[in-house]
Amino acid sequence: MGRTRRPWLATMGMSAAPPALAGAASGVLNTGRQLGATLGGAISGAVLATQLATGPHARALAAARTLPAGARQPFVNGFTRAAHTGLQVGRGQAGARIPAGTPAALVPRLEHLAHDVFARACITAMHPTLAISVALLTAGALACLLLRRPPGAAGTAPAPAPAQHRQAEKPSGV
């Protein structure tokens, strides 16, 4: 979310700042960028982790209905255990191990179901994660539009000169 580089955004933000406040504006801009990146990553990660902790178990319960009665509970327990201990997956892994002593005829079916459960749970977990990211980006864009002031708007005109300078500018004898 906050990790994208948008040079035009920095240019727009800095061009709106008076030259005397350029340093402060740069600091605020960079702090906001870093804060957005940190919070965006933390929020997205937390939502994704929560979804991955609960999603595979529900999918495993549904998929286990197609298995023989003796294989159902160990199949579901494998995903429950993986959710509690953390999913350690990489290329070629499905998120749950096939228990030792499983009949050879059942192994390909279990591997297929385990992969299907894990893959679909990951895809399903991405939906709320992306929805939150889109909502935060939309809120940020709306905030920018609301805070944007057109050139020459009230409050952007230079301050009037102090009274003593105006007196000195008047020609004498007038």
- Distance, in Å, from the CA atom of 113 to the CA atom of 98, rounded to the nearest integer, reads 11
Orientation angle between helical segments 69-85 and 107-147, nearest 10 degrees:
40
Whole-number CA gyration radius for the chain: 30
Place of tokens 């159902």: 72
**Angle at 171 (CA atoms; ends 166, 174), nearest 5 degrees:** 110
pLDDT tens by residue, 101-159: 888 888 889 888 988 988 898 899 999 999 998 998 898 888 878 877 666 655 555 55
In total, the chain counts a number of residues equal to 174
DSSP-based helix, strand, coil % in the chain, nearest 5 = 70, 0, 30
- Distance, in Å, from the CA atom of 37 to the CA atom of 1, rounded to the nearest integer, reads 6
Q: Taking Cα atoms as reference points, which of 84, 78, 79 lies closest to residue 56?
A: 79
Query: If you count DSSP H runs as helices and E runs as strands, how many of each does the chain have, helices first?
Result: 5, 0
Confidence tier at 4 by pLDDT (50, 70, 90): low
Query: Percentage of the chain surpassing pLDDT 70?
Result: 71
Q: What is the pTM of this model?
A: 0.61
Place of tokens 């929020």: 43
Q: Residue 91: its pLDDT value, please?
A: 58
- Distance, in Å, from the CA atom of 83 to the CA atom of 93, rounded to the nearest integer, reads 15
Q: Residue 93: its pLDDT value, please?
A: 56
